[in-house]
Structure 1
C-alpha cells in the first residue's frame, strides 16, 4: 500500500497537536522530516516525496539526484540536489543543495517525482563536475537509453555562455554508451587526453569458430591490445581463478593485456599513458 504523507498544516485540520504526539508515541504516525508525517515507516522514495512537500511549487530533483532517477547515477553523492526557479526564495534544509539556472526547464515525472529532464540533467552535470567525472556521466546517460547523442548536442547548445559549457561540448562527441562503469570511462578519457587513439569499449574476443568467449573493458582490436580495470570484484578467489584462465587464453591468442587499478587511475595517469603508448609502439 502506498505511503500516505501529510504536511503539519494539513494534518492539523483534523487532529490537534496533542493527538498527533499521541499517534507518534503509539507508532500510528511517523515523522518523515520536519513538518511532514506518514502513516507508515518510509523508504527513500517516500522521504523524497516528503521533501517535495516542504518545497515550493516548481521545485524538481536535479543533477546527481535526478541522474539516479533517470538511470545514470554513476556519481556518488549523499546530498539531495534540487532545482528551483530563480524568483523563488532559497529554503534552508539539511542535506539539500539548491541550484538555480536562467534556463527554462519543464519537469518530467519519474517514479512519481518531478525531475529535470534527462538531457538537461546530463549536460548540467557535464558542465559542473570535474572532467574525469563528466565523461562517465555522459557515457552512462547514453547507455541508459533515456537520451541520444543528438539530444545531448541540442541541449548543450541551449547552455551556451553558461559556466562549464566548453567542457560539456568537448566531451559529448567522446561519449560512448558501451562503457559499463565509471572507471572504464575514466580510463578511456585518460588515454584520449594523453593524445592516444581512443580505445574501443567492450571488445568481444572470439575463438577460432567465431564464438564470443571473453569481453575486454577497452582495447585496440587491430593491434590486439587489451586494457582492463581491476576493481574490488577481482579480489574474489573464484574470480581470480577465472581471470588467470582468461589471461592465459588471451595470451595464447596473441592479445597483449595491460591491467590498471584505482591507484593508477587516480594517482598515476601518466603511468597509464606511458604503458599503453609503449604497447602501441
Structure 2
C-alpha cells in the first residue's frame, strides 16, 4: 500500500477493512490517509492534496516551490492546488484558475506548476514582502526568467492581483540566502537606499574569494550581513567569522552586522550613516 492513499480505494480493493482504516490510519485531508505511526512530511501532505482532487489537480504556490527545491517551507504550510470540482478545506487551498498545458510539469508522479508559473502565482497571491521572500527562495533553488513570468501574465490578461506581481518581480534577488536577508534587503530599498548587490565576492590575493558578503555596495565598500545564531553555538565558527571581519576591515570594508533583535529603523540609520561616510548622497544612485 502507498504511504498516502485514498481510504475508499483501499477498502474496495480489500487491502483494509473500515475498522482497520479508522484504527491504524489518520486522515490528512477528507478521505486521504496516512499511518498514525508516521509523522507527515510536506511531501505527504502535498500528495494527499493531489489525491483529494481525484488526481486531477496541479500543485501550485508555496508547496510547488518546495517541490522545485525552494527552502524555508514549513511542513504545515497550506497546500495550494489548481483544480475544479475540489473543495477547499483546512490546510488545502483550491484555486479554480486557468492553467495552460505548458504551465505544469511532473515532479515524481505529482503534477506541479512550472517554476515560471509558480513564480506567477506567488507574486499574485502573496503580499509584496512575502511574495519577494518566496520568489527569492524559488529563484535560488531553480532560476526562472522574469520574461517568462511576464509572458504568462500576458497570456492570462485580466487575472486577479496581476498588479501585485508587477510590483514584486523587480525586487526579486536569488542571491538572498535566507528569508531574513530578503527582509533586510527590502527594508533598505524601502528606505530609499540604493539597491544592494547580493553575494559580493571579496578577493584579497590570488583568484578565489575569501568572503562572500550577503549584500552591499562595492562602489562604497559598505556591506550588510544578517547574523544568525551560528557563532553563539559554534566557537570555531565565531573565531573564523571574526578573522574574516578583520581581513575585510583591512581592505577598507565597513561591514554592518544585523541580528534578529535589531530595530529596523536603527538598521537603516546605521547603513545610511556608513554610506554617507563613503560619499553616497540621496539621489546619487
For the aligned pair, the TM-score class normalised by the smaller chain equals: 0.7 to 0.9
Query: In the alignment, is the contact (CA less than 8 A) between 1:227 and 1:258 conserved in 2?
Result: yes
Cα gap change, 1:23/1:228 in structure 2, threshold over 3 Å: closer, same or farther?
closer
Structure 2 match to 1:168: 165
Give the TM-score normalised by the residue count of structure 1. Answer: 0.81
What are the equivalent positions in structure 2 for 1:125-136 lying under 5 Å apart? 125-136=122-133
- 2: distance between equivalents of 1:23 and 1:12? 8
| Mean Cα deviation higher: 54-63 or 40-49 | 40-49
Structure 1 residue 14, shift from structure 2 partner: 4.3
Structure 2 match to 1:11: 10
Cα gap change, 1:162/1:56 in structure 2, threshold over 3 Å: closer, same or farther?
same
Structure 1 match to 2:275: 280
Structure 1 residue 61, shift from structure 2 partner: 1.7
- 2: distance between equivalents of 1:23 and 1:163? 41
- 2: distance between equivalents of 1:90 and 1:262? 39
Cα gap change, 1:188/1:13 in structure 2, threshold over 3 Å: closer, same or farther?
closer
Q: Secondary structure of the residue that 1:212 maps to in structure 2?
A: coil
Aligned length: 270
Q: Secondary structure of the residue that 2:50 maps to in structure 1?
A: helix
Superposed CA offset, 1:38-64 (max 9, x none): 799766334543443332353122211
Give the TM-score normalised by the residue count of structure 2. Answer: 0.80
Equivalent residue for 1:98, pick from 87, 91, 94: 94
Tell me whether 1:67 sits opposite 2:71 in the alignment: no
Structure 1 residue 73, shift from structure 2 partner: 4.4
Q: Secondary structure of the residue that 1:179 maps to in structure 2?
A: coil
Structure 2 match to 1:203: 200
Q: CA RMSD in A?
A: 3.0
**Gap runs ≥5 in structure 1:** none
Structure 1 residue 201, shift from structure 2 partner: 0.4
What are the equivalent positions in structure 2 for 1:261-276 lying under 5 Å apart? 261-264=259-262, 268-276=263-271
Structure 1 residue 82, shift from structure 2 partner: 3.0
Superposed CA offset, 1:49-106 (max 9, x none): 34433323531222111111112244546133232435x25254x43222333x3344
Structure 1 residue 257, shift from structure 2 partner: 0.9
Q: Secondary structure of the residue that 1:258 maps to in structure 2?
A: strand
Cα gap change, 1:252/1:12 in structure 2, threshold over 3 Å: closer, same or farther?
closer
Structure 1 residue 5, shift from structure 2 partner: 5.9
Superposed CA offset, 1:207-264 (max 9, x none): 1334411111011112111110011223222222112111112112211111112233
Structure 1 match to 2:78: 80
Structure 1 residue 184, shift from structure 2 partner: 1.7
Structure 1 residue 128, shift from structure 2 partner: 2.1
Tell me whether 1:194 sits opposite 2:191 in the alignment: yes
| Mean Cα deviation higher: 110-119 or 8-17 | 8-17
What are the equivalent positions in structure 2 for 1:41-52 lying under 5 Å apart? 44=41, 45-52=43-50
- 2: distance between equivalents of 1:16 and 1:191? 58
Superposed CA offset, 1:158-199 (max 9, x none): 454444322321232332222222222221121122211111
- 1: distance between equivalents of 2:35 and 2:159? 44
